[in-house]
């Protein structure tokens, strides 16, 4: 290859990196964590890639990643859903109760899908139809579901309920977790990148007025992403409940913040738009879980792990999310 | 005559929600034997809760009105309470002024730090505030043995969260919010920036300065809120990520309600009325439904109530058409 | 230049990691799945177990449990903290015990500072654990039986001569023991009233606190403004005491209203309000030196020298500290490890006192003697 051609290639590479700096930076954060913990845990006589720890890592990642993949659709609209955690708690509870009553998971799954889709439709349509801030409907659902869950457990008479008589080994296998995540990623990825559902969702997030004037049915293409999220939440609930075979009134607490933090770490623009990427979900979830699993292995005291996570979060976002010019980002 | 009618309309619109709420709760409580609802004693017992709700809502609402969703308020209040409480207790001076000054000073300092990260880090506001919330929460588990703070039995501090002295920090919070909104250029520029950021910048609004000053004001308000909140119960350090964000989502409800009532009376009084309405509802429902169901039902009902208020307010134009001229103007809200 | 900086950073990173000392040779690690993350009791248990573990040749570490006792949350915390040298775990949160034991079938498990209802109740979510050899039993948080707790509080009320009292509990679905305790309390008072000249009135049903403080309206309700004592089966210092103080300041209740409850906090301002003529007259807590029991059980199991008279898994009371006089409160402040600052040297049992109860030190040690020893500690032990 001539020197000129080499130079041109180098320039193209530099330009590609500049254009995709956010992706590169978030991937860089993940790669750094992988290298750091590979070396660090090895020096402590453990390995983060041992069977046990890998299984712990996958178990840690799976629920957050499954939720986050669906949430990318919502965040690409420029929306935020704070009822995710409570929904997962509710669906886990429904799966256990219906599973115990019927001896099978299937009726519970169908019931959860119905409820999740209804909640999704209301969440998606309420803002536009009822002329209110879109986050309000999710705040409302967060509170209503929280109350309902407490009443359920109060009536059941126990803080924890377990599912018996159903084989849950499928949900405990790390291999199955990875396969399901990959399948979900491919399915949601197809809709997100190659169909109008994803394209319109991103265009609504970029500029809703322009999208409406281009003929996009705003209400319809705001609701459909929530339906995708609904299926993802039910899948996440299956794995959340399936690993322990149990649910409690606290299941799902804080999950919406885990999703948000994972997406941010993965480089997702929270105002949505055309730069939204599905890979943010998995990259961010993996990075956060690596920190949770790896820091104790290298001997960091538990209390310090919170501070280290916070500092790493700030460093990563300062690299991935910084906007150099224009008015202050919103 | 027209002017009188206008005033009456505004007063009616302002008081409608809290009065209706009071009447409904009064009927429910009386029917269940709780005849003390509405007495002076009840109000004395309820005022600290209303004060905290108003102050927190104003702190969050100030940034919300400027188009900024701030997740760091809860963590700022907690960290300030732990530091100020421990220092004030250990100082041996028994001075509520020292405690108050520390709360306000620390809240302002932590808020300004958030603003600086936002302005100079040039991060989206949600990301900047989430990052700072994570950092502040992690600090709470490191300082003073991670034991949080318990000011309940510290009399010189506790008196600031009981009637009548609780009215002082409440007045402080309301005063700062009102001054910011009505008497400062920053407040007015903030509205411009919220409506159309690029245009405001183009006409010469210094956004960086505006943000930092607005965070000083919200820090002041959070400081007053912390003075009350810190001694209402034991405040534990945080050992799981973003546990304080729940404070945001429960304290933002009066903001949503208040911004709609504010059409009649300005959002300062609107938020106060919103807080009163929500506190009355919570108090009444927990009385009537009792025990574990009381808290659960109250949470669910509060959510539905906020939905209803936003729905009704969002349909303002339609209702106006239907009823003649019952409500004032309502701008359709962007999702 | 950039490559040089990158190389220097990498070297610095590696050196930083190398400086972290590798753990010395040990018999293994013992974990504590803790239901506390701060406070003097937490500090005591961590320091005490660390001391004992070091003397036995183990390392010790703390895992913060899920504060809502969610099974998945507890399992996740244990999994994140688990390393290949972990041999045993002391569990103070019973959510997900069966899942933890499924995950780590070779790890020894012992319960402490929790009633472990999910394990010992017939339909409990973790009842299956009772069939597993690796589960060694449980020592609870003071009285296991709500009956015993209720009766003890009733005797306290009778002894102090209160005539009008009320009770507070946590929701039954979370703390069934409190409901049992409340019923036993009422039965004991009723029995007393049959022969008493001045019967004791219990105002209303037990107030159920949904992990929120006493409500603002509590003292406004009929009969409550004349209460002489509140009996809190829940953690009253956190959930009842603040509202009581507020109510007194606003004149909503009697000036001499007092509280009998559980839980201990070494906050000087709180302790200043504990005593015969103060707001808090009685605190019942677990005897902290009972902490010897779970680590002795783990040591016996891990070292393969189980007690010859070990009867199998059982659930038992810990020693009980009933701090119900000004002298006892003062003794706790001045002479116990849980004073204003932690002082292990004030513990009623030091290593030399306890070592013969460990089978790895004394192969003839007896399980019955160990249990009796760990249940023998009292507040009076700090007053000698």
**Chain A residues near residue B146 by CB distance under 8 angstroms:** 303
pLDDT at res. A271:
84
Domains of chain A: 50-319 (1.10.3470)
Residue partners of A264: CB distance under 8 A and separation at least 6? A270, A284, A313, A317, A321, B127, B130
> Which residue, B289, B335, B251, B313, is CA-closest to B50?
B251
pLDDT tens column, C129-148: 999 999 999 999 999 999 99
Question: Which residues of chain B lie closer than 8 angstroms to C64, CB-CB?
Answer: 239
Give residue-wise pLDDT tens across range A99-153: 999 999 999 999 999 999 999 999 999 888 887 777 888 988 999 999 999 889 9
More confident residue, A42 or C309: C309
State whether A127 and B335 contact (CB < 8 Å): yes
> Domain residue spans in chain B?
56-246, 252-310
CB contact under 8 A, B36 and C220: yes
Q: What is the DSSP string of B251-305?
A: HTHHHHHHHHHHHHH-HHHHHHHHHHHHHHHHHHHHHHH-HHHHHHHHHHHHHHH
Range A208-228 average pLDDT: 94
Whether the predicted pLDDT of B317 surpasses 80: no
Q: pLDDT tens-digit profile of A206-217?
A: 999 999 999 999
Q: How far apart are CA A317 and CA A26, in angstroms?
A: 8
The answer, for A42 touching chain C at a CB cutoff of 8 Å, is: no
- The confidence band for C375, taking pLDDT boundaries of 50, 70 and 90, is very high
Residue C329's Cβ-side half-sphere holds a number of Cα atoms within 13 Å equal to 24
Q: Where in chain C is the domain with CATH 3.40.50.2300?
A: 29-141+288-318+342-376, 146-286
In this complex, do A317 and B123 lie within 8 Å of one another by their Cβ atoms? yes
Q: In chain C, which among 167-196 make CB contacts under 8 A with chain A?
A: 171-174
Chain B residues within an 8 Å CB radius of A208 = 335
The answer to whether the CB of C93 falls within 8 A of the CB of C66 is yes
Over residues B60-92, the pLDDT tens digits come to 999 988 888 889 999 999 999 999 999 998 888
Contact between C257 and C227 (Cβ < 8 Å): yes
pLDDT surpasses 90 at B308: no
CA angle A190, A191, A193 (to 5 degrees): 65
Q: How far apart are CA C246 and CA B286, in angstroms?
A: 19
pLDDT computed for residue B334 by the predictor = 45
Neighbours of chain B (3+ CB pairs under 8 A): A, C
Instruction: Classify domain C146-286 at the CATH topology level.
Output: Rossmann fold (3.40.50)
pLDDT at residue C23, as a whole number: 47
**Confidence band, pLDDT 50/70/90 cuts, at residue C5:** very low
Confidence of residue A1 (pLDDT cuts 50, 70, 90): low
Q: How confident is the model at residue A95 (pLDDT cuts 50, 70, 90)?
A: very high
Is the CB of C72 inside 8 Å of chain A's CB atoms? Answer: yes
Digit-coded pLDDT (tens) for B4-55: 888 898 999 899 999 999 999 999 999 988 999 999 989 998 999 999 999 9
Which of B300-314, C44-58, C109-123, C171-185 reaches the highest mean pLDDT? C44-58
pLDDT of residue B143 exceeding 60, the answer is yes
Q: What is the pLDDT of residue B331?
A: 47
Cβ–Cβ contact A156 with C under 8 A:
yes
Residue C314 has pLDDT above 50, yes or no: yes
A177-181, B251-255, B273-277, C231-235: which range is least confident on average? B251-255
CA distances from C51 to C54, C58, C91, C373 (A): 5, 10, 18, 19
- Using alpha carbons, select from C337, C238, C325 the residue that is nearest to residue C278: C325
Does CATH place domain C29-141+288-318+342-376 in 3.50.50.60?
A: no
* Distance (Å, whole) CA B322 – CA C251: 51
Q: What is the mean pLDDT of residues A168-176?
A: 93
Residues of C in contact with B41 (CB under 8 A): 220, 250, 252
Interface of B with A in 123-142 (CB under 8 A): 123-128, 130-132, 134-135, 137-139, 141-142
This prediction has a pTM of 0.89
Q: What is the pLDDT of residues C324-367, one digit of tens each?
A: 999 999 999 999 999 988 999 999 999 999 999 999 999 999 99
Average pLDDT along chain B? 88
Query: pLDDT tens digit string along A268-283?
Result: 888 889 989 999 999 9
Q: How confident is the model at residue C58 (pLDDT cuts 50, 70, 90)?
A: very high
Which pLDDT score, from 0 to 100, does residue C15 have? Answer: 45
Residues in contact with B161: Cβ distance below 8 Å, sequence separation at least 6, in sequence order: B48, B51, B227, B228, B229, B230, B231, B232, C246
């Amino acid at each position: 290859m001539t020197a000129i051609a080499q130079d041109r290639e180098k320039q193209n590479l530099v330009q590609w990196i500049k254009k995709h700096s956010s992706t590169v930076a978030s991937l860089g954060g993940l790669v750094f964590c992988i290298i750091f913990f590979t070396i660090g845990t090895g020096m402590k006589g453990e390995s983060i890639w041992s069977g046990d720890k890998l299984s712990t890592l996958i178990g840690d990642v799976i629920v957050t990643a499954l939720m986050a993949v669906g949430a990318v659709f919502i965040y690409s609209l420029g929306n935020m859903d704070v009822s995710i955690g409570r929904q997962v708690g509710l669906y886990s509870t429904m799966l256990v109760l219906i599973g115990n009553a019927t001896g099978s998971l299937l009726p519970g799954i169908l019931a959860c899908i119905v409820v999740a889709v209804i909640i999704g439709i209301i969440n998606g349509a309420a803002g536009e139809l009822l002329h209110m801030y879109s986050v309000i409907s999710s705040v409302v659902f967060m509170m209503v579901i929280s109350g309902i869950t407490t009443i359920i457990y109060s009536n059941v008479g126990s803080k924890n309920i377990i599912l018996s008589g159903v084989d849950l080994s499928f949900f405990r296998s790390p291999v199955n977790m990875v396969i399901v995540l990959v399948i979900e990623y491919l399915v949601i990825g197809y809709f997100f990148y190659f169909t109008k559902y994803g394209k319109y969702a991103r265009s609504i997030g970029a500029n809703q007025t322009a999208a409406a004037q281009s003929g996009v049915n705003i209400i319809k293409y705001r609701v459909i992403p929530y339906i995708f999220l609904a299926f993802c939440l039910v899948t996440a609930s299956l794995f959340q409940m399936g690993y322990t075979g149990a649910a409690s009134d606290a299941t799902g607490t804080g999950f919406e913040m885990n999703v948000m933090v994972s997406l941010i770490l993965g480089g997702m623009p929270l105002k949505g738009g055309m730069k939204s990427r599905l890979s943010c979900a998995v990259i961010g979830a993996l990075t956060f879980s690596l920190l949770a699993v790896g820091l104790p292995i290298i001997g960091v005291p538990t209390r310090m792990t919170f501070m280290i996570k916070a500092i790493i979060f700030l460093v990563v976002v300062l690299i991935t999310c910084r906007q150099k010019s224009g008015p202050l980002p919103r | 005559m027209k002017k009188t009618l206008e005033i009456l309309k505004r007063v009616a619109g302002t008081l409608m929600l809290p009065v209706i709420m009071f009447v409904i709760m009064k009927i429910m409580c009386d029917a269940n034997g709780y005849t003390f609802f509405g007495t002076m004693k009840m109000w004395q017992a309820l005022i600290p809760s209303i004060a905290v709700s108003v102050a927190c809502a104003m702190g969050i609402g100030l940034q919300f009105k400027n188009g900024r969703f701030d997740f760091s308020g809860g963590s700022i209040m907690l960290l300030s309470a732990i530091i100020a409480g421990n220092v004030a207790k250990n100082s041996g001076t028994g001075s509520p002024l020292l405690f108050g000054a520390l709360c306000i000073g620390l809240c302002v300092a932590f808020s300004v730090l958030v603003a600086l990260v936002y302005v100079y880090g040039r991060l989206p506001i949600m990301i900047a505030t989430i990052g700072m919330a994570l950092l502040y929460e992690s600090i709470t588990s490191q300082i003073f043995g991670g034991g949080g703070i318990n000011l309940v039995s510290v009399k010189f501090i506790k008196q600031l969260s009981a009637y009548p002295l609780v009215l002082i920090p409440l007045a402080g919070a309301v005063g700062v919010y009102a001054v910011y909104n009505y008497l400062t250029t920053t407040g007015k520029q903030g509205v411009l920036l919220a409506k159309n950021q690029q245009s405001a910048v183009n006409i010469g609004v210094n956004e960086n300065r505006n943000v930092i000053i607005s965070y000083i004001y919200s820090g002041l308000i959070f400081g007053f809120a912390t003075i009350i909140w810190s001694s209402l119960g034991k405040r534990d350090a945080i050992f799981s990520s973003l546990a304080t964000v729940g404070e945001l989502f429960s304290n933002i409800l009066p903001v949503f309600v208040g911004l709609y009532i504010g059409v009649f009376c300005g959002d300062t009084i609107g938020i106060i009325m919103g807080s009163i309405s929500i506190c009355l509802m919570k108090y009444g429902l927990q009385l009537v439904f009792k025990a574990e169901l009381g808290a659960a039902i109250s949470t669910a009902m509060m959510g539905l109530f906020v939905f209803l208020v936003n729905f009704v307010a969002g349909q303002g134009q339609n209702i106006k058409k239907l009823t003649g001229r019952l409500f004032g103007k309502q701008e359709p809200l962007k999702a | 230049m950039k490559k040089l900086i990158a190389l220097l950073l990498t070297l610095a990173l590696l050196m930083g990691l190398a400086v972290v000392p590798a753990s010395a040779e040990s018999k293994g690690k013992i974990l504590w799945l803790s239901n506390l993350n701060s406070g003097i009791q937490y500090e005591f248990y961590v320091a005490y177990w660390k001391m004992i573990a070091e003397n036995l040749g183990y390392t010790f570490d703390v895992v913060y449990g899920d504060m809502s006792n969610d099974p998945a949350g507890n399992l996740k915390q244990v999994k994140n903290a688990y390393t290949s040298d972990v041999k045993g775990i002391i569990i103070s949160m019973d959510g997900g015990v069966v899942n933890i034991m499924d995950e780590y079938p070779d790890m020894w498990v012992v319960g402490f500072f929790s009633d472990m209802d999910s394990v010992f109740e017939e339909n409990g979510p973790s009842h299956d654990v009772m069939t597993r050899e690796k589960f060694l039993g449980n020592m609870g948080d003071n009285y296991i039986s709500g009956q015993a707790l209720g009766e003890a509080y009733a005797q306290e009320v009778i002894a102090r001569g209160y005539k009008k009292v009320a009770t507070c509990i946590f929701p039954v679905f979370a703390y069934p023991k409190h409901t049992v305790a409340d019923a036993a309390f009422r039965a004991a008072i009723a029995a007393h009233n049959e022969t008493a000249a001045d019967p004791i009135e219990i105002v209303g049903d037990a107030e159920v606190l949904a992990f929120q403080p006493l409500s603002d309206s509590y003292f406004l309700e009929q009969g409550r403004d004349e209460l002489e004592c509140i009996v809190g089966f829940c953690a009253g210092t956190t959930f009842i005491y603040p509202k009581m103080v507020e109510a007194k300041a606003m004149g909503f209740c009697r000036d001499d209203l007092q509280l009998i409850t559980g839980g201990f906090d070494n906050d000087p301002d709180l302790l200043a309000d504990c005593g015969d003529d103060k707001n808090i007259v009685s605190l019942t807590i677990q005897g902290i030196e009972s902490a010897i029991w779970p680590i002795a059980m783990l040591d016996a199991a891990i070292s393969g020298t189980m007690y010859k008279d070990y009867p199998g898994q059982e659930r038992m009371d810990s020693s009980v500290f009933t701090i119900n006089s000004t002298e006892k409160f003062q003794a706790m402040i001045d002479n116990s490890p849980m004073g204003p600052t932690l002082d292990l040297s004030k513990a009623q049992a030091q290593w030399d006192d306890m070592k013969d109860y460990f089978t790895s030190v004394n192969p003839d040690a007896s399980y019955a003697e160990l249990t009796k020893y760990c249940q023998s500690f009292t507040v009076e032990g700090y007053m000698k």
